[in-house]
Structure 1
Amino acid sequence: MSIFLRQRWRDKRLKYDRIEGVPALQLNTKSINGVWVPDLFILNEKRATIHNVVVPNKLLHIQPDGSILYSIRISGTFSCDVNLLKYPLDNQICPLIIESYGYTSETLVLQWYREAVEKKEDIILSQFSLDCIDTFKCDKQYAGMNFSCVQMNIKLDRLYDYYLLQIYVPSILIVILSWVSFWISVDATPARISLGLLTVLAMTTQSSGLPKVSYFKAIDVWMVSCLCFVFAALIEFAYVNVLSRVEQRRLSHVVDATNNKTEYLRRSLPEKMGNQTSSRINLFFRNMASREKARNVDKISRVIFPMLFLLFNVIYWTVYIFD
């Protein structure tokens, strides 16, 4: 952040008679060093500098009654503990904590002015939108001594349009693509295996580049769930393929046994009885073919997989957006 830190206080030692045409004394940077100023520091500062181009960016005005306005321009990096459980659908609250370093509350008391924070109206952030700013006191105690403290909390809402376009929508399309195999013939083994592996690999590469933390984020739940859906579609084909091959082996054994039995019956029984037996056997095989398990599993998957994925979406977006 880049901020103008403005401070107001009254020092009775600096009272003077009002000068006509001069509302306040405006000190230059050299004279400022001879005036007492509060020893403030920013508790969560990591790196910060006071601007010195082209002169030190400091201002100090003294009113006749000893009231002082002191302003400095600071740019720095300040720490902010974030919670990424809902990332990238999260919002963060980042503080700016200002304390007195050496003066206890008995000597120096800090409090926010009437308009505590003024923000630039046209601020544009690449990843967040600036929601609101809250200010309050946060007096602290160190080594049994009380120190005055003021705090500013900045609420930042993450902009997730990028994640919708680059992660959520592509992963949804990949999951839908994995369902195409349910309409491909069971005998087209190379096509269905290639499609299943392609979608699984696509999902694994989607998760690269995300923040790495020791707990599950919202985006992790999404990616893992989508990976499970495409992996389940691949496992479904393996199950269908096994059913198909087992059914084929059973049918081949039954056909061989039935042909032998039919030939025997034709030789040992009258011709009429043999024809009736053959008709019954042919009807039996037609009924078996119409109830083929492998095709039924594909038909059920065409309905079950989209319904489960739709249910997952309803739960996911309800929990992470409206909770």
Structure 2
Amino acid sequence: MKILDLEIDQDKSAISLLMYLRVRWKEPRLKTLIKSYPIYFRNESIPNQDKKIYHLLWHPDFFIANSYGDHLVPSLNVEGNIFFSMQENTEVTLSVPISTKIPCPKTGLSYGSNIICNVRFTSYKHNKGDVKFIPSAEQPISFKKDLELTKNLKLESYQTSAICRKSQFPCTDLKISFKPSWMRSEYQQAYTIGVFTVIASWIGFWLEKDRDRILLSTLLVTSLQIYKVGFTLSCHGKIGEKAIELWLSICIIFILLTIFQFAIVRILIEKIPNTIKSFKRSDKDLVTKF
């Protein structure tokens, strides 16, 4: 199984795969073809131009892709050259480039958590044991060297399993995990500005004049809100956008809470001396009475 191309559709929460899938099975129909095409029954690749052999052995709907949630993916599209070899024991080895789209969890694409995409390739016209998916022993999944993902994501891990549980048909499972890249400059800038505004709001407590405190807090909330809107408009794609919006919203709420906290403290400070004075006056009145 070799991944030739991988494209992430963030709006539809899916990834598009272009890959080589290699399978092996025993084909009873080959017994009647050996006499007609004896030259092809060797351990060699058959030319792609021989459409007659191809149509006799391959059907576009031979394989289907199914996610773990039993959401049926449209039939696999065959692209490019097809390579297959046949032997006299009616064994066929086929390597075919296919393209399909795998659904992924929408939460991962929206909030910046790890994205895990699962897909199952099933041969639904054969029983278990008739068709065998052939993974490489050293590298079950290989990626094209110049394969590039979107700037917001990096490939974290991938694995495949030729043994599918709870399936009556021969199949293979593919699991790909992506991790959002948080080292981009725009994300660092957003977090830095958020931390700076929170620190600045705390510094506002130490200002002497109430007018300066209110002015600083108002400027912080306004500038942070403007930056949040600008970041949303300039952010390419939706990876991490919700996470940044959530972070900036928390910072804004924190600054507003500091203003509210300062107001409560000022009210309490003003009320405490008045209550103390009222207690002193009541004590003096009691002393004079006695």
* Bigger mean CA deviation after superposition, 220-229 or 108-117: 220-229
Alpha-carbon displacement from aligned partner over 1:29-69 (angstroms, at most 9, x marks no partner): 63211224581111136567736xxxx62414334434434
Residue in 1 aligned with 2:94?
70
* C-alpha distance in 2 between matches for 1:85 and 1:248: 56
Residue in 2 aligned with 1:133?
158
Q: Which letter maps to 1:59?
A: I
Alpha-carbon displacement from aligned partner over 1:128-162 (angstroms, at most 9, x marks no partner): 21122211122445xxxx22221011121221123
Structure with larger Rg = 1
* C-alpha distance in 1 between matches for 2:43 and 2:75: 35
Q: Name which of 160, 164, 170 aligns with 1:148.
A: 170
Matched, 1:117 2:133: no
* C-alpha distance in 2 between matches for 1:138 and 1:204: 50
Following TM superposition, by how much is the alpha carbon of 1:96 offset from its aligned partner in structure 2, in angstroms?
2.3
Matched, 1:39 2:65: no
Q: Which letter maps to 1:122?
A: D
**CA-based RMSD:** 4.2
Following TM superposition, by how much is the alpha carbon of 1:79 offset from its aligned partner in structure 2, in angstroms?
0.4
Residue in 1 aligned with 2:49?
28
Flag the 1:64–1:243 CA change in 2: closer, same or farther, 3 A: closer
TM-score, normalised relative to structure 1: 0.58
Following TM superposition, by how much is the alpha carbon of 1:245 offset from its aligned partner in structure 2, in angstroms?
5.3
Matched-pair identity in %: 22
* C-alpha distance in 2 between matches for 1:202 and 1:195: 11
* C-alpha distance in 2 between matches for 1:25 and 1:221: 57
Which sections of structure 2, spanning at least 5 residues, go unmatched? Answer: 1-16, 282-290
Counterpart of 2:120 in 1: which secondary structure?
A: strand
Q: Name which of 182, 193, 196 aligns with 2:217.
A: 196
Which sections of structure 1, spanning at least 5 residues, go unmatched? Answer: 258-323
* C-alpha distance in 2 between matches for 1:84 and 1:22: 45
Decide whether the 8 Å contact of 1:58 with 1:70 is kept in 2. Answer: no
* C-alpha distance in 1 between matches for 2:48 and 2:110: 50
Residue in 2 aligned with 1:182?
205
Q: Which letter maps to 1:113?
A: P
Counterpart of 1:237 in 2: which secondary structure?
A: helix
Residue in 2 aligned with 1:161?
183
Flag the 1:85–1:111 CA change in 2: closer, same or farther, 3 A: closer
Q: Name which of 57, 62, 70 aligns with 2:80.
A: 57
Residue in 1 aligned with 2:284?
none
* C-alpha distance in 2 between matches for 1:195 and 1:22: 79
Residue in 2 aligned with 1:102?
125
TM-score, normalised relative to structure 2: 0.63
Counterpart of 2:141 in 1: which secondary structure?
A: coil
Following TM superposition, by how much is the alpha carbon of 1:175 offset from its aligned partner in structure 2, in angstroms?
0.6
Decide whether the 8 Å contact of 2:19 with 2:99 is kept in 1. Answer: yes
Matched, 1:234 2:259: yes
Q: Which letter maps to 1:93?
A: I
* C-alpha distance in 2 between matches for 1:153 and 1:83: 17
Decide whether the 8 Å contact of 2:24 with 2:134 is kept in 1. Answer: no
* C-alpha distance in 1 between matches for 2:178 and 2:63: 26
Counterpart of 1:26 in 2: which secondary structure?
A: coil
Following TM superposition, by how much is the alpha carbon of 1:234 offset from its aligned partner in structure 2, in angstroms?
0.8
* C-alpha distance in 1 between matches for 2:86 and 2:131: 21
Flag the 1:180–1:64 CA change in 2: closer, same or farther, 3 A: same
Residue in 1 aligned with 2:6?
none
* C-alpha distance in 1 between matches for 2:82 and 2:110: 43
Decide whether the 8 Å contact of 1:39 with 1:103 is kept in 2. Answer: no
* C-alpha distance in 2 between matches for 1:165 and 1:192: 28
Structure with greater contact order relative to length (CA < 8 Å, sep ≥ 6): 2
